[in-house]
Amino acid sequence: MLDVAGNLLIAEVADGRETQRIEFRLDQTDSHNLVHVLQQLGVNVVICGAVSRQLELALLAEGFELSAHICGSVEEVLAAYLEDGLEGNDYRMPGCCGRRRHNRNRQHCHRRNDSGAR
């Protein structure tokens, strides 16, 4: 859950590819502090698994692009983001469908097909 994460992986992207990657240790205590830290680090896009409604709203209110309820390896998720912005449902966490919007475009996650195929 993003709200209690101890570390962030920050990938700098230019011209559609990753140019740098750093790991940042978090010591924040609440969603307001986390939003402030992300702003100070120059983060524009947040890709995460679970996130509280309070933090989701705070991120969206501050103009972050948010892709929540994402699962998979860092390498696969980053590659998918760079390729299509995580528009498909291949990396959506199972069971998250219909709960709330997942990014500023108000897209909802979709159920995987019964075979579990991606």
For residue 90, report the phi and psi dihedrals to the nearest 5 degrees. -60, -30
Question: What was the pLDDT predicted at 112?
Answer: 37
Asked if the structure places residue 33 within a domain, the reply is yes
The answer to whether 92 and 69 are in contact (CB under 8 A) is yes
Number of domains the chain is built from: 1
pLDDT per position as a tens digit, 88-113: 778 888 875 544 444 443 334 443 33
- Which residue in 14, 95, 94, 79 sits closest to 47, CA to CA? 79
What's the rounded Cα separation, in Å, for the pair 32 and 59?
9
pLDDT at 35: 94
Q: Can you give the pLDDT at residue 90?
A: 84
118 within some domain? no
pLDDT of residue 38: 94
**Stretch (H or E) spanning 23:** strand 17-25
User: Which residue bears the tokens 């966490």?
Assistant: 93
Torsion of CA 62, 14, 105, 4, to 10 degrees: -50
Predicted pLDDT of residue 114: 36
| pLDDT tens-digit map of 39-74 | 999 999 999 999 999 999 999 999 999 999 999 999
For residue 77, what is the domain's CATH number? 3.30.420.130
Query: What does the pLDDT read at residue 46?
Result: 96
The pLDDT value recorded for residue 85 is: 82
Residue 26 covered by a domain: yes
90: in domain: no
